[in-house]
Amino acid sequence: MELSEQNVKKQRPVHLDLQTIRMPAPAIASILHRISGVIMLFAVGILIWLLNSSLASAESFAGVQAMFDSFVVKFIVWGILTALGYHLLGGIRHLVMDSGRWEELASGTASAKGLFVLTVAFSIVAGIWVW
């Protein structure tokens, strides 16, 4: 037993330089899918607050409507829409992968790159719509 334990210990890297490790596109797509989900978790709170404020009275609706003239609010809404679009498209990609397709590295990389391209296009359209 000790001989196999020594072999396992010898095969482990002594120094792991994290700056030299390149993550493949599918891993980046998966991590960004999780991040967009967290962003949407906080976005739901913001959107519910805005909805509640807009439904309180005619004056508060006008106040919320006036808030949307601000660049910062438009930028936040654009960010929420971009995160929503990425999460939706990434979720569809994950569903397709769960069905047994795009599981190889080449097809997974192609689908991840396609996801990035579609998200950029969606983000541009959302930016045009918001502004």
**What is the tens place of the pLDDT at every residue in 38-94?**
999 999 999 999 999 999 999 999 999 999 999 999 999 999 999 999 999 999 999
Give the percent of the chain with pLDDT over 90. Answer: 78
Q: How big is the chain, counted in residues?
A: 131
Measured CA to CA, the distance from residue 49 to residue 45 in angstroms comes to 6
pLDDT at 124: 98
Question: Which residues, in sequence order, are CB contacts of 89 under 8 Å at separation 6+?
Answer: 115, 118, 119, 122
Q: Which is more confident, 4 or 114?
A: 114
